[in-house]
Amino acid sequence: MTSIATEPEDSLQRLAEQVAVQRARPGFAMDAYFYRSQLVYRKELDEILYRSWLYAGHVSQLPNPGDYFLFDLGEDSIILVRAGDGAVHALMNVCRHRGSRLCEAAQGNRKTFACPYHGWVYNLDGSLKAARDMAAKPGFDPADYGLKRAQCLVFEGLIFINADSAAADFHSVLNRIAPALRPYGLPTAKIAHRQVYPVEANWKLVLENYLECYHCATAHRAYAKLHTLAELGEKVERINAAMHERAEAQTGVQGIALDLYQAYGTAPAFGACIYTSRYALYDGFQTGSKGGRPVAPLMGDFKGYDGAAGDFQFGPLAFMLNYPDHCVLYRFTPRSPASTDMEVVWFVRGDAEAGRDYDRDALIWLWDRTSVEDKHIIERNSAGVNSRFFEPGPYHPEHESACLDFVDWYLTAMAPLET
């Protein structure tokens, strides 16, 4: 693993000073300090990541009561489990006795969660079922010692969590992009492939890379050959206008070309980012694949191809790129100040069979290739940012506009409270 120099002389005062300096240079990339500081990373976890709505998984990962999987963030572990009544819960993987992890396996099926240390047992909803011999402690009430939990909701088959009990409702926010998302039939879709690409870089560098397509023409030749997003809007305006005119007729889906941006500073509530738009592929291409040819049966309600892709954002760290025949989800999960997991999930129609209806290698070809390319360029970016000679340059006003929005939101979240 590549090591980075940390900031030995750090404090909340220095963070406040760095935020003020950064705010005085609007439109410029962030100083290396924000990618290197352990103090900054800890504050990000407290003030941003554990207060935001995060994609945790898909309902197909929890088909039966007792099925669970773990979602790790930073040094914490969260159990996503389906209870006997069908509800999905997000439980902290920390025993309420002395803190032992309850689950070690990344996924499985349990009737209860039993602590391997002292034997406390929890129901699937997190309530304490048994605490051996604790009746000897006067006033001990099992109701006071259920597992701590995060807010959890399921929307269109996607599971979201938020560790902040006071976080605003996300379901009503997500409903704003439902007309564009619902036609893909994600509640009954299947995961055709999942892959984690470990990136030796700070999570913000990984996120910023996804938020802009300034690099697409140079770093992602296969992607740029198909997708108009790699160009300035004015250069592909005619192609996109033609796509919007035919989209509903050719897909058979009303509202498929919905355009809505409410992310970061314009989100309806903190960490409740949503975004959707539809943009054209170049003429002659139908989907995101090698050669632009279909690679799987049409998703959900789709009746045909309009030569376009749907873009989506859910919270600050999860995104989808959806074609009529398959969907691709990206999630970025911080692991340390210098490491991030970039997870990619490929969805196909729920009744599609591998080897008969789709070829896995053909399905994942474009976005596996793009992710490998991204890992390479992000790690090179990280190495440069950690150089003593790095001086932040200006963001491009259009190609990197989402980075500008993110940085402004980020600095506001990281700024000390006014006294």
pLDDT in tens, the chain (419 residues): 455 555 667 899 999 999 999 999 999 999 999 999 999 999 999 999 999 999 999 999 999 999 999 999 888 999 999 999 999 999 999 999 999 999 999 999 999 999 999 999 999 999 999 999 999 999 999 999 999 999 999 999 999 999 999 999 999 999 999 999 999 999 999 999 999 999 999 999 999 999 999 999 999 999 999 999 989 999 999 999 999 999 999 999 999 999 999 999 999 999 999 999 999 999 999 999 999 999 999 999 999 999 999 999 999 999 999 999 999 999 999 999 999 999 999 999 999 999 999 999 999 999 999 999 999 999 999 999 999 999 999 999 999 999 999 999 999 999 976 43
Residue 118 belongs to domain with CATH number: 2.102.10.10
Tell me which residue range forms the domain holding 141. Answer: 57-154
The separation between CA 112 and the C-alpha centre of its own chain, rounded to angstroms, equals 29
The torsion region of residue 118 among left (phi > 0), alpha (psi -120 to 50) and beta comes to alpha
For residues 179 and 255, the answer to whether their CB atoms sit within 8 Å is yes
- pTM recorded for the entire structure: 0.95
Structural domain total, the chain: 2
Both 259 and 178 in a single domain? yes
For residues 314 and 199, the answer to whether their CB atoms sit within 8 Å is no
The residue among 154, 186, 213 that closes a domain is: 154
Task: Round to whole Å and give the CA distance between 321 and 67.
Answer: 28
Asked if the structure places residue 75 within a domain, the reply is yes
The residue among 104, 120, 154 that closes a domain is: 154
Both 128 and 177 in a single domain? no
